[in-house]
Every structure is written in structure tokens, then in C-alpha cells.
């Protein structure tokens, strides 16, 4: 087999150095939970906004029990806690068990999730074949956007414990939130969001 000339060796060395510079990024993860803080904030903020839109003054002074039988969805414990909080703030007295209440309040969930959309102008991350196998080439983004839109839709039904007579229907309770991330030329980034926790405080 013919020996490689000096220029060929130098050329291969330069190519290897370029590949290593592109793929040799150091990434440190302090924690790696299954769900991101942004996802949790999107869901909880949309739920908070949905619940705040309903007037629960009719329960002022009433002894109510919040049933969980017909409520399913992400963060159900937190959302049910928000509903109990809203009822208590409106003047309702919260019963500890269904046997000693005047009215049963049944929350139900029609939607509690996130829609996601992304756009990339550039080259997505890919695998490049080499003599020794393949190497991962990073994404090259001239322009990139990642948009998340959360939607929460709930409703409340209340009826008398003893006779089952209808007492209250909230109708649809809808709340929304969004978070949008943008990148330009790979290093210029900015975010647009209506999440209070992720907005920069205003300077006074």
C-alpha cells in the first residue's frame, strides 16, 4: 500500500481537528428531571388563568366538598388545590368529607396540555460517516424558533348532597399561556413569553 504523502497527512489532521472542534462541546447537567420548569409553568399558569375567570360568589357561606371523581390531567393535585383555594377565597366553607357537606362540587378537565411548533433554517444535527465509524455533527441554525402554547379548559358542576338537585354550572373556564424561543446565527437568542416567572423585572 502506497504511503501517504505529507500533505495528505496534514489534510486529514486538519479535518479531524475541525470535526473535534464541532463535536467536542462540554455540557454539564446539574439535574435532569423528566419535565422542564417551563412546561410546568405553562400548564400551571394556563390553569390559574382559567380558574380566575369564574365567579364563585354563589358559594359564599355554603359548606362544599370538592370531588375528584371526574378530574384527570397533568398536575391534577395542584389544579384541584387551586379550585379549593378559589372556593375558599369566595367564602365557601370546605368540608373534609362528602358525608357532612351541603353541596358537592365536581370539577372536570377538557384540556390541559401544550402545543409545540418549531422552525429551523439551516442544517439539523446529523451523523457523518468516518473511517472509524460515525460522528455527530451539531445543528447549524441560521434561524430557529421553538414555540409552546398551553391551553387549560375546565368546568365545575355543583349539586345538593342529599337530593342531587342542580345548584351551579360554571360553563367553560379557559386559560392560555405561551413561551417562544428564537435563535439567530446560532448565538443571538431571545425569548417572548407571558409567563410572569420568566419575564425580566422592570427597572425602576
Which region among 15-24, 34-43, 73-82, 180-189 has the lowest average model confidence (pLDDT)? 15-24
Domain containing 81 equals: 35-198
CA-to-CA separations, 192 to 110, 153, 181, 189, in angstroms, rounded: 27, 23, 7, 11
Of the listed ranges 9-18, 69-78, 143-152, the least confidently predicted one is 9-18
Asked whether residue 4 is assigned to any structural domain, the reply reads no
The total domain count for the chain is 1
Q: Is residue 22 part of a domain?
A: no
Q: What is the pLDDT of residue 127?
A: 81
pLDDT level of residue 19 (50, 70, 90 thresholds): very low
Does the residue 65 lie in any domain? yes
Tell how far CA 186 is from the center of its chain.
Answer: 24
User: Residue 84 is placed in which grid cell?
Assistant: 379549593
SS3 38: helix
Residue 203 forms part of a structural domain = no
Q: What is the CATH number of the domain that holds 159?
A: 3.30.160
Using the predicted structure, report yes or no on whether residue 2 has a pLDDT greater than 50.
no
* Distance of alpha carbon 126 from the chain centroid: 27
Q: 27 in a domain, yes or no?
A: no
Could you tell me whether strands 140-160 and 173-184 are parallel, antiparallel, or unpaired per DSSP bridges? antiparallel
pTM: 0.75
Q: Domain for residue 10, yes or no?
A: no
Exposure string over 130-156, b if 16+ CB within 10 A, otherwise e = eeeeeeeeeebbeebbeebbbbbbbbb
Please, which pLDDT band fits residue 21 given cuts at 50, 70 and 90? very low
CB 44 within 8 A of CB 81: no
- Percentage of the chain with pLDDT > 70? 83
pLDDT digits (tens, 9 = 90+) for 110-165: 999 999 999 999 888 888 777 777 888 787 889 999 999 999 999 999 999 999 99
Amino acid at each position: 500500500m502506497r504511503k501517504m504523502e505529507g500533505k495528505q497527512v496534514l489534510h486529514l489532521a486538519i479535518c479531524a481537528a475541525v470535526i473535534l472542534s464541532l463535536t467536542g462541546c462540554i455540557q454539564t447537567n446539574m439535574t435532569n428531571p423528566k419535565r422542564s420548569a417551563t412546561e410546568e409553568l405553562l400548564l400551571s399558569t394556563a390553569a390559574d388563568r382559567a380558574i380566575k375567570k369564574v365567579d364563585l360568589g354563589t358559594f359564599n357561606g355554603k359548606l362544599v366538598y370538592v370531588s375528584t371523581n371526574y378530574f384527570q390531567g397533568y398536575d391534577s393535585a395542584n389544579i384541584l388545590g387551586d379550585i379549593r383555594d378559589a372556593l375558599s377565597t369566595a367564602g365557601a366553607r370546605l368540608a373534609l368529607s362528602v358525608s357532612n357537606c351541603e353541596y358537592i362540587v365536581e370539577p372536570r378537565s377538557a384540556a390541559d396540555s401544550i402545543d409545540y411548533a418549531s422552525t429551523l433554517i439551516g442544517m439539523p444535527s446529523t451523523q457523518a460517516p468516518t473511517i472509524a465509524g460515525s460522528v455527530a455533527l451539531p445543528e447549524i441554525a441560521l434561524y430557529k424558533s421553538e414555540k409552546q402554547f398551553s391551553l387549560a379548559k375546565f368546568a365545575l358542576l355543583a349539586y345538593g348532597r342529599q337530593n342531587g338537585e342542580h345548584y351551579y354550572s360554571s360553563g367553560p373556564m379557559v386559560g392560555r399561556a405561551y413561551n417562544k424561543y428564537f435563535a439567530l446565527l446560532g448565538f443571538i437568542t431571545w425569548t417572548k413569553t407571558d409567563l410572569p416567572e420568566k419575564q425580566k423585572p422592570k427597572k425602576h
